[in-house]
């Protein structure tokens, strides 16, 4: 199972998100996966019509550096970057993450585009302390006890960003919970989990695009 993940939130030129998705899914899915990266999913944000969110992961940080160099200096990106870049207002909102535990990483599923898609919810918890100081384990235990529909739980990857031409938000104390439901009652009723948060969580309600692996 791959162990380094990027959660990428892009701001798109107003009214042109569908065009961005078309360009992305036409040219940038297989071309990245052929270089050893895995595209976990691509999504429309239900609450922001100009946000395109996508997730990719890598075997490790060395594989990330090699894959990104091969892709961004390779023929497909060079041929089609002028289609994609004018559609982007901002692409620096990126979290570099790793699974809380191996068991809480995304399952390694095949892409099944014909299957119906259902929403994915990504909850980004902003914490007072590093999640390794107790919150991560506590969250996993409480989520399991509540029967939460967990797809994955991720915490910051603190290694140096070895591909600095793509900035990432490092040194943030976050935990990201991916689920298939918006049921937060169990969480909001848990004072231990709520008190650990430095500010309200960001909740992304995401609809998979046609070629999203996660659906």
Mean pLDDT by 10 residues, the chain (215 residues): 89 98 98 96 97 97 97 97 97 97 90 82 97 96 94 96 93 96 89 96 96 92
Q: What is the pLDDT of residue 123?
A: 97
Q: Which range of residues forms the domain containing residue 154?
A: 4-208
> pTM for this one?
0.94
213 lies in some domain: no
Q: What is the pLDDT of residue 2?
A: 64
Cα–Cα distance for residue pair 140/152, rounded to 1 Å: 10
Taking the alpha carbons of 116, 17, 85, 160 in that order, is the dihedral positive or negative? negative
User: Which pair of tokens denotes residue 199?
Assistant: 């500010």
214 lies in some domain: no
Cβ 44 vs Cβ 210: under 8 Å: no
203 lies in some domain: yes
119 lies in some domain: yes
102 lies in some domain: yes
Q: What is the pLDDT of residue 184?
A: 86
Residue 8 CA: distances (Å) to CA of 53, 56, 75, 160, 204: 6, 8, 22, 17, 12
Domain count for the chain: 1
94 lies in some domain: yes
215 lies in some domain: no
148 lies in some domain: yes
CATH number of the domain within which 86 lies: 3.30.70.100
């Amino acid at each position: 199972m791959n162990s380094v993940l990027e959660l990428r939130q892009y701001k798109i030129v107003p009214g042109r998100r569908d065009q961005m998705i078309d360009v992305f899914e036409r040219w940038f899915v297989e071309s990245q996966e052929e270089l050893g990266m895995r595209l976990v999913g691509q999504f429309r944000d239900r609450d922001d019509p100009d946000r395109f969110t996508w997730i990719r992961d890598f075997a490790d940080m060395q594989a990330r550096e090699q894959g990104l160099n091969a892709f961004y200096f390779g023929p497909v990106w060079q041929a089609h970057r002028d289609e994609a870049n004018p559609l982007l207002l901002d692409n620096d909102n990126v979290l570099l993450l790793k699974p809380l535990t191996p068991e809480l990483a995304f399952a390694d599923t095949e892409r099944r585009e014909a299957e119906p898609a259902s929403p994915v919810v990504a909850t980004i918890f902003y914490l007072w302390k590093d999640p390794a100081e107790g919150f991560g384990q506590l969250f996993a235990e409480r989520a399991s006890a509540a029967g939460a529909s967990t797809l994955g739980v991720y915490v910051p990857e603190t290694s140096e960003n070895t591909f600095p031409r793509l900035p990432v938000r490092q040194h943030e104390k976050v935990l990201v919970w991916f689920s298939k439901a918006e049921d937060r009652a169990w969480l909001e009723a848990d004072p231990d989990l709520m008190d650990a948060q430095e500010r309200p969580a960001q909740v992304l309600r995401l609809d998979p695009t046609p070629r999203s692996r996660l659906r």
